[in-house]
Amino acid sequence: MPAHPVSGADLPDDIDALKGLVIAQAAREREYETELQRLREQLNLLLVKRFAPSSEKVSPDQLRLFNEAELDTAPAQEPAAAVPVAAHERKRGGRKPLAQSLPRVRIEHDLAESEKICPCGCALTRIG
Is residue 104 in some structural domain?
no
Helices (H) and strands (E) in the chain, counts: 3, 0
pLDDT tens for residues 12-61?
A: 888 899 999 999 999 999 999 999 999 999 999 999 888 887 766 666 67
| pLDDT reported for residue 67 | 67
Q: Is the pTM of this model over 0.75?
A: no
> By percentage, how much of the chain surpasses pLDDT 70?
77
**Total domain count for the chain?**
1
Cα separation of 19 and 16, whole Å? 5
Is residue 128 in some structural domain?
no
The parent domain of residue 41 ranges over 11-53
**Is 75's pLDDT higher than 70?**
no
Is residue 42 in some structural domain?
yes
Cα separation of 98 and 109, whole Å? 24
